[in-house]
Amino acid sequence: IVHLKIHVLAALTVMQCFLREGRSCVRYKCGLPCNTIQDVLHQRPNWIEVKDDGEWDFNWCDVGWLRENFDHTYMEEHVRINHFRNHYELTRKNLMVKNLKRYQKQLEREVGRIEASNCDFFPCTFAMPSEYHLFVEEFNRSPGSTWIMKPVGKSQGKGIFLFRKLKDIIEWKKVGLCKELVDGSRSEEQKDGVQVKSYVAQRYIENPYLINGRKFDMRVYVLVTSYVPLKAWLYRDGFARFSGIRFSLSSIDDKYMHLTNVSVQKTAPDYDHEKQGCKWQMQQLRRYLTAKHGREVVETLFKEMDNIFVRSLQSVQKVIINDKHCFELYGYDILLDQNLKPWLIEVNASPSHTPSCQEDYEMKCRLLEDTLNVVDMEGRLTGKEKRVGGYDLMWNDGPVYREDANLQTFGSSGFTANTHLGCVNDREKQLRQLLKPFPCQRKA
């Protein structure tokens, strides 16, 4: 009885807060272990954590919870959750390529080849084992080329290997097919429409852009708050992840040379934690590229990256189950080749928020704080904003353009995408101008 009274009093307190302050008190649930997101949620003014059985207004869950509970959970109008139901249409490696290929063919059929060529930003890829024979035909057209095999449902570099000979995957193919025929159980991957032992075979980018002889890729954050209509935000911060060993094609078995994942690099015997996790902040990378290649070349590069973000989202726009309660923070992995052409490697539905150093922790805190600012559980935005903190609105049922475009710099049309990836992130100043203070701050 005592415990029941405590719960009733707590519920009444929350209800009174809602009635008195609108939605200034937000009951949140977070199913992830101790992480950066836990710190950000805990420090947010007037946000109250609820336990597993408590009612919540905001839920930052993992995809496992989503799969088991989403279809059985009633959500009121104001409730928000951090995944779309079938997010895997973009974040599973095989489904991402399948949707991009379908979208590319659709554009070619309806608009023409020139428009379809704007989707030429992902390496030649085959789903395995279902497209094994198609892969063999392509493989035989370019003998000696390097390919990379990736399991479709794993992350952090697990299960990835490079190969140049068919014999290197024949045994894998036999084992994979046998297990599919023998094993009648359904795994978590199968529940998401993905077969056990499904891989993608992807042509390896043999001429990556190198800095100090080392390969790197870029992690970029895109926030989608709606698919119908499509509304997407691009975050100004991000980072480049470097391999710990100088790049060479003479050896394809060294994972520390070819895989840039921090989870892989930090297992190297000579990994140096003082080097900030083999990372550069996006601003540092943009400055380096600008100094070496000039502003115009770098502007073109980042416009091509904008194209990747928008086209990839459009490729799944009609298949993602849109829900007004959902939003998604995607982690895009982009690789540059020697010609400064950006390639989409994969899209992550649950980009890691585990920091590799203090600078990384602070960047991810800013990212997550601004994600909550855009989702706006407190109801402080008008819905017409083009910028919220470090986020710039890049697509809102159509392209979003900058209001302060310099015609001489960006062309006579003046229509320049409202994106500032790698530019100055003066988010605190912008937020002070944009957001009304929290109710508790007004009283103080």
Out of 235-239, 247-251, 267-271, 355-359, the most confident range is 235-239
Which pairing describes strands 26-30 and 47-49: parallel, antiparallel, or unpaired? parallel
**The domain containing residue 434 runs over which residues?**
210-443
E strands, 206-314, where?
210-211, 214-227, 230-242, 279-281
Q: Is the pLDDT of residue 179 over 90?
A: no
More confident residue, 38 or 439: 38
Give domain status of residue 86, yes or no.
Answer: no
- Give residue-wise pLDDT tens across range 316-326: 999 999 999 99
pLDDT number for residue 412: 40
pLDDT number for residue 151: 87
Q: Do 28 and 113 belong to one domain?
A: no
pLDDT number for residue 156: 66
Mean pLDDT over all residues of the chain?
Answer: 84
Tell me which of 179, 203, 227 is where a domain ends.
203
More confident residue, 220 or 185: 220
Q: Do 337 and 407 belong to one domain?
A: yes
Torsion sign, CA atoms 158, 354, 309, 312: positive
d(CA 222, CA 418) in angstroms, rounded, equals 13
For residue 317, give the nearest of 399, 232, 419 by alpha carbon.
232
Please name the residue that has the structure tokens 């379809």: 116
Give domain status of residue 148, yes or no.
Answer: yes
Q: Do 270 and 169 belong to one domain?
A: no
> DSSP string spanning 247-281?
--TT-S--HHHH---HHHHTTSTT--GGGGGGEEE
**Cα-to-chain-centroid distance, residue 395:** 16
Give domain status of residue 87, yes or no.
Answer: no
Band of the pLDDT at 190, cuts 50, 70, 90? very low
For residue 427, give the nearest of 377, 372, 357, 382 by alpha carbon.
372
d(CA 430, CA 196) in angstroms, rounded, equals 47
Which pairing describes strands 279-281 and 328-336: parallel, antiparallel, or unpaired? unpaired
| Beta sheet of 161-163, edge-to-edge order | 125-128, 199-203, 147-151, 161-163
Contact present, 244 and 256 (Cβ < 8 Å): yes
d(CA 369, CA 225) in angstroms, rounded, equals 15
Contact present, 349 and 328 (Cβ < 8 Å): yes
Q: Do 243 and 379 belong to one domain?
A: yes
Q: Do 216 and 240 belong to one domain?
A: yes
Give domain status of residue 317, yes or no.
Answer: yes
Tell me which of 20, 45, 79 is where a domain ends.
79
d(CA 47, CA 14) in angstroms, rounded, equals 10
Q: Is the pLDDT of residue 192 over 60?
A: no
Q: Do 158 and 265 belong to one domain?
A: no
pLDDT number for residue 41: 96
Return the H-helix or E-strand segment holding 274. none
d(CA 391, CA 389) in angstroms, rounded, equals 6
Q: Do 294 and 351 belong to one domain?
A: yes
Return the H-helix or E-strand segment holding 6. helix 2-21
- The DSSP output letter for 349 is S
Q: Is the pLDDT of residue 304 over 60?
A: yes
The mean-pLDDT minimum among 259-268, 292-301, 356-365 falls in: 259-268
pLDDT number for residue 440: 47
Give domain status of residue 242, yes or no.
Answer: yes
Q: Do 107 and 144 belong to one domain?
A: yes
- Give residue-wise pLDDT tens across range 405-437: 554 444 444 578 999 999 999 999 999 999 866
Q: Is the pLDDT of residue 181 over 70?
A: no
Q: Is the pLDDT of residue 15 over 80?
A: no
Give domain status of residue 244, yes or no.
Answer: yes
More confident residue, 176 or 389: 389
pLDDT number for residue 178: 45
d(CA 57, CA 415) in angstroms, rounded, equals 39
- Provide the residue type at 132 as one letter: Y
| Tokens describing residue 411 | 């062309």
Q: Do 280 and 429 belong to one domain?
A: yes
- Give residue-wise pLDDT tens across range 344-396: 999 999 888 888 888 889 999 999 999 999 999 999 999 999 999 999 999 99
CATH of the domain at 376: 3.30.470.20
- The DSSP output letter for 377 is T
- Counting the structural domains of the chain, the total is 3
Q: Do 237 and 198 belong to one domain?
A: no
Contact present, 397 and 231 (Cβ < 8 Å): yes
Q: Do 368 and 328 belong to one domain?
A: yes
CATH of the domain at 155: 3.30.1490.20
Q: What percent of the chain has pLDDT over 90?
A: 61
Dihedral, CA of residue 356, residue 358, residue 359 and residue 365, to nearest 10: 90
Give domain status of residue 85, yes or no.
Answer: no
Q: Do 189 and 244 belong to one domain?
A: no
Band of the pLDDT at 176, cuts 50, 70, 90? low
Tell me which of 172, 203, 234 is where a domain ends.
203
Q: Is the pLDDT of residue 71 over 90?
A: no
- The DSSP output letter for 371 is H
Q: Is the pLDDT of residue 195 over 80?
A: no
Give domain status of residue 365, yes or no.
Answer: yes
